[in-house]
Structure 1
Amino acid sequence: MSLSVRQSKLGEDPNLASLVSQILSVADGNRDGRVSLPEARSTWALLQMDEVLLGLLLQDRGHTPRLLGYCGDLYMTERVPYGPLYGLSLPWPLVSWVPGGLQRAMDQWFTPSWPRKAKISMGLLELVEDIFHGTYGSFLICDLAAAHFGYTDHHELRLTNTRVMVPEDEFRRSMQVLKCETDADCVYGVDCHTSCDSTARRCRVEPLQPNLAKACGALKDYLLRGAPSELREELEQQLYSCMALGGNAGQMNMEHSLILNNLKALLWRQISHTKDS
């Protein structure tokens, strides 16, 4: 069961032993050290939902709400008290009347203090780090909208909608068979883009932007609003360098790690000594 789930949903890269151990731990509902037939059937039904499997893989790192219990394909997770990450939900009649610039400004009105925003942002950066060639393979986040994230009373980020994640192997397989006329045809989900090979009229498989670049774009206004004056210029430079990352760069792994570590270090220097963090 565990092997087929791994291959069909996550590809060939994930750490098999770790994944099987994780699934068996969940399946042993009464903690008697064995998985009975009813427990196995219930777990099998649960794991047919991609969002549950991905949530399980990330919950030990604190990125997703913890699974509290389940029966077949019905399940319950811990409550995430604050969400979305930022932004206001305007009544639909007002949306078309409010200019985009004003909407973006309003999104940042009701947010925590800056040190707490920095801690929440660190959580998103750590999520990106953990799914970039991580224990269970590589994943892309194909919709980084604030609505898919929340945070706890301790200002720890939670990914509340794992449906926005896709294993990179699955993404590549999907794009490989996608016909195209222009780059605009090569989109997976909301914002996972590749380019169009105009000769073959097929989408290329390399994503144009890594998760980190999109995460920095999502965090730019969130972090710059209210940032300490002595930090703002350096923070802005690092965020723009991060947003400029491309998916096809020859030094992708090195650049990714360098920019990620520099940004995390900058934020940590500012919040490590504050009680708000």
Structure 2
Amino acid sequence: MSLSVHQSKLGEDPNLASLVGQILSVADGNRDGRVSLPEARSTWALLQMDEVLLGLLLQDRGHTPRLLGYCGDLYMTERVPYGPLYGLSLPWPLVSWVPGGLQRAMDQWFTPSWPRKAKISMGLLELVEDIFHGPYGSFLICDLAAAHFGYTDRHELRLTNTRVMVPEDEFRRSMQVLRCETDADCVYGVDCHTSCDSTARRCRVEPVRPNLAKACGALKDYLLRGAPSALREELEQQLYSCMALRGNAGQMNMEHSLILNNLKALLWRQISHTKDSRR
């Protein structure tokens, strides 16, 4: 039953059986080697929440806060001491009075040193890499805002709101039945867009911008502010190339991997000799 439920949410994938094994391990709360009926009921209630299931998928890679305990649909995860990733929460009366350019600049005022920002940014790039044709299929992040991320005392990135993730199979099924007049009608969540087929008046299923392009857009100001002068020009070029990625372009998989690897290598060269590189 557990396997069929996960297949309905994540699609057909040969690795789902190993996910079920991981869930059974979590369900065995008293570590006696078997799952009792109360444990099974409690775990079943927990897994009805998609954000918990997605958090478990990414937990082993360190992308989400560790699940510490649960009872039914109540659960506790490790504390993420720093969040959001960047930005200031202005009182609502001030928001409309502060120009957008000034607010973007203010967002970068209280951030860590640049090598630490580079390490945090690599965590986001690795998250994007792991959910792009990962072991349990592909996922889209449909609200890639700084508010949904935080980081630990060791400057390791954590996705603190897994509700913004959606399996790509589910995204495609949803878009396939969506009627449209213009491209503006073809949106899932906050920023997962497709284009409108004006002849069929149906949304196409191919996302316009991949996760990587949106991640680089979120990191652009964050990484360029305070970047070493010898690095800044090359970093800026790579970030803009990354932001220009399109999901429906030919050879997208190869281009995606090339840009991702180049950007990670550039950041790693700058911090590999510092204490901030330690995991």
Query: What interval of TM-score do these two structures reach, taking the shorter chain for normalisation?
Result: over 0.9
Unaligned 5+ runs, structure 2? none
Deviation at 1:192, TM superposition (A): 0.1
Percent of aligned pairs with the same amino acid: 97
Deviation at 1:11, TM superposition (A): 1.1
Question: What secondary structure sits across from 2:270 in the alignment?
Answer: helix
Deviation at 1:22, TM superposition (A): 1.1
Q: Deviations over 1:125-175 (max 9, x none)?
A: 000000000011100000011000000000000000000000000000000
CA contact (8 A) 1:27 1:39 kept: yes
Question: What secondary structure sits across from 1:205 in the alignment?
Answer: coil
Unaligned 5+ runs, structure 1? none
Q: TM-score, normalised by structure 2?
A: 0.98
**Which stretch has the larger CA shift, 5-14 or 126-135?**
5-14
Measure the CA separation in 2 of the matches of 1:18 and 1:150: 28
Question: What secondary structure sits across from 1:276 in the alignment?
Answer: helix
CA contact (8 A) 2:7 2:16 kept: no
Q: Deviations over 1:10-30 (max 9, x none)?
A: 111351222111111111111
Measure the CA separation in 1 of the matches of 2:5 and 2:273: 44
Deviation at 1:243, TM superposition (A): 0.4
Q: Compared with structure 1, are the counterparts of its residues 112 and 14 closer, same or farther at alpha carbon in structure 2 (3 Å cutoff)?
A: farther
Deviation at 1:250, TM superposition (A): 1.4
Question: What secondary structure sits across from 2:246 in the alignment?
Answer: coil
Q: Compared with structure 1, are the counterparts of its residues 154 and 14 closer, same or farther at alpha carbon in structure 2 (3 Å cutoff)?
A: farther
Measure the CA separation in 2 of the matches of 1:165 and 1:275: 32
Q: Deviations over 1:166-224 (max 9, x none)?
A: 00000000000000000000000000000000000000000000000000000000000
Q: Deviations over 1:99-141 (max 9, x none)?
A: 0000000000000000000000000000000000001110000
CA contact (8 A) 1:2 1:23 kept: no
CA contact (8 A) 1:213 1:244 kept: yes
Q: State the superposition RMSD in angstroms.
A: 0.7
Deviation at 1:5, TM superposition (A): 2.2
Q: Alignment length, in residue pairs?
A: 277
- In the TM superposition, 1:104-183 aligns within 5 A as 104-183=104-183
Question: What secondary structure sits across from 1:226 in the alignment?
Answer: coil
CA contact (8 A) 2:3 2:17 kept: no
CA contact (8 A) 1:6 1:14 kept: no
Tell me which stretches of 4 or more aligned residues in structure 1 moved more than 3 Å. none
Question: What secondary structure sits across from 1:158 in the alignment?
Answer: strand
Q: Deviations over 1:58-95 (max 9, x none)?
A: 01000000000000000000000000000000000000
Measure the CA separation in 1 of the matches of 2:35 and 2:112: 44
Measure the CA separation in 2 of the matches of 1:196 and 1:153: 44
